[in-house]
Structure 1
């Protein structure tokens, strides 16, 4: 399946990926702003929080996704780690998964797409599913099935049919919040997460 990479992706994205044994990641596109490629949603004490990985934009120039560099001049790693701690510090699997996340962030990947794939590999390892993927070599070459750019941050996820909302135990709030980052599910349910995604 042909699709772009997302940062700590939503449950909708994960359940879509898990329907396909092989993935083709779109990296030859011009990097679009305000998408899930560099942002995710988690649930904290004050509700849903949006976390964004800052990227370096060269003004007036288009940059391909594969060449989109992470901006480390901003202290975003510390901010994201603090947000994870605040949101999931009391979750059953936080102590177990935190070192793995810290290791991934400590690599300080140059390109956003590599960070996204590292984090996705971590998720796949936890749920015990092999991650089989390739990256596109030119733009516009699609796999047999393409869901490229279908999961838009600008449209409500309920307008799409990729994800059947199944509620699970969350750390905050009395009302269940659906379709957050897969991190929310993992921190609360560990390996069992796969049953909520398939």
Structure 2
């Protein structure tokens, strides 16, 4: 069984979805500490030709809390996100196709950060015809005293993984021999260079999946899911 484990990011970039599409089961890693300034509650979209943060505002967020312990701010700031997306992409070729999906997700009544991001991840995966099974790490019985690589290995063993896939950034963090000694093959996914037309401006890479869907549509984005290589 091919397994992936990642924190629940907010409308993440294409590499995140490539990883989901590659594995049989995907663990939404929600019982680790929230990282301020990361990708848990923000991502970048294209506004006036520049990469600009789209923020999900939180209530009393703290690095001392786990992701699944944080609530979303119910104030007006989050309600403006749809308007910002509409203003940024209303002339994009796949706006009419994509906007209803985003509207459904961003008007969700879910107030828990991990659950909302999990909903976003699951719904977009389904929209892109992925058949991956999802599970929250907080729902898995495991050794809560373990950290880092050892915690991931524990999850892999408990779920019966034969292969563990991680984004290429994990190559500096995880040791092949440690996984091999547990009978698990370790792989790293590296996204190929991806370029596409964004209005008439210079291409801005590494934006949210929102940008890919607006300019490539569902079918075009599904093709871009194949643009990666694997390393050991």
Bin of the TM-score, shorter chain as denominator length? 0.7 to 0.9
Shift of 1:100: 2.3
Q: After the TM superposition, which residues 61-100 of structure 1 pair with which residues of structure 2 at under 5 Å, given as runs?
A: 62-78=64-80, 80-100=81-101
Q: Aligned partners of 2:61 and 2:45: how far apart in 1?
A: 29
Q: Provide closer, same or farther for how the CA distance between residues 172 and 38 of structure 1 changes in structure 2, counting only shifts above 3 A.
A: farther
Q: Could you tell me how far 1:74 is from its partner in structure 2?
A: 4.3
Match runs of 1:160-171 below 5 Å: 162-171=190-199
**Residues 41 and 132 of structure 1: is their aligned pair in 2 closer, same or farther, counting only changes over 3 Å?**
same
- For residues 27-106 of structure 1, the aligned pairs below 5 Å read 27-57=30-60, 62-78=64-80, 80-106=81-107
Runs (4+) of structure 1 exceeding 4 A deviation are none
Q: Does 1:180 align with 2:207?
A: yes
CA distance in 2, matches of 1:20, 1:109: 27
For 2:124 and 2:30, the matched residues in 1 are separated by: 20
> What's 2:27 paired with?
24
Structure 2 residue 14 is the aligned partner of structure 1 residue 11: yes
- Asked if the contact 2:58–2:70 (Cα under 8 Å) also holds between the matched residues in 1, the reply is yes
Q: Which sections of structure 2, spanning at least 5 residues, go unmatched? A: 145-150, 171-187, 227-232
Q: Which of the pair has the greater relative contact order for Cα pairs under 8 Å at 6+ separation?
A: 1
User: Could you list the runs of 5+ residues in structure 1 that have no partner in the other structure?
Assistant: 152-159
Is contact 2:59-2:71 (8 Å) kept? Answer: yes
CA 1:58 to 1:179, structure 2 compared with 1: closer, same or farther past 3 Å? closer
- Number of positions where the alignment pairs a residue of Structure 1 with one of Structure 2: 187
State the TM-score, normalizing by the size of structure 2. 0.72
**TM-score, structure 1 length as denominator?**
0.83
Residue aligning to 1:157: none
Aligned to 2:60, what secondary structure does the other structure show?
Answer: coil
- The structure that is helix-richer by fraction is 2
